[in-house]
Structure 1
């Protein structure tokens, strides 16, 4: 199961790079900490602190600046 998950994720990532380009794909991947916090907050399973949200936002901003 894990191998199929890894293969599927890798295939989708390769497709994303082919369709949107490396820069945009890396910004999307770099925003995963912020997206993960939003999902956990929306599902009610976790309430990230302002410090954690600010850190995730800084990671997203840094990746966006690096790849634009």
Structure 2
């Protein structure tokens, strides 16, 4: 029955990785859209905006 546990763990890990990859793709797509966005002023506002403490607390310092 040990083998069963190993299989379950493997499957769970693969699921996790797939989800993480999806999230990463969505985020990069979002940034690409933002970067090629025609409305330069919006982009400038977003870039000038101070990073919110909430986001930094959530562990997303990579956004800034």
TM (norm. structure 2) is: 0.37
Structure with the larger helix share: 1
Higher relative contact order (CA 8 A, sep 6+): 1
Larger Rg: 2
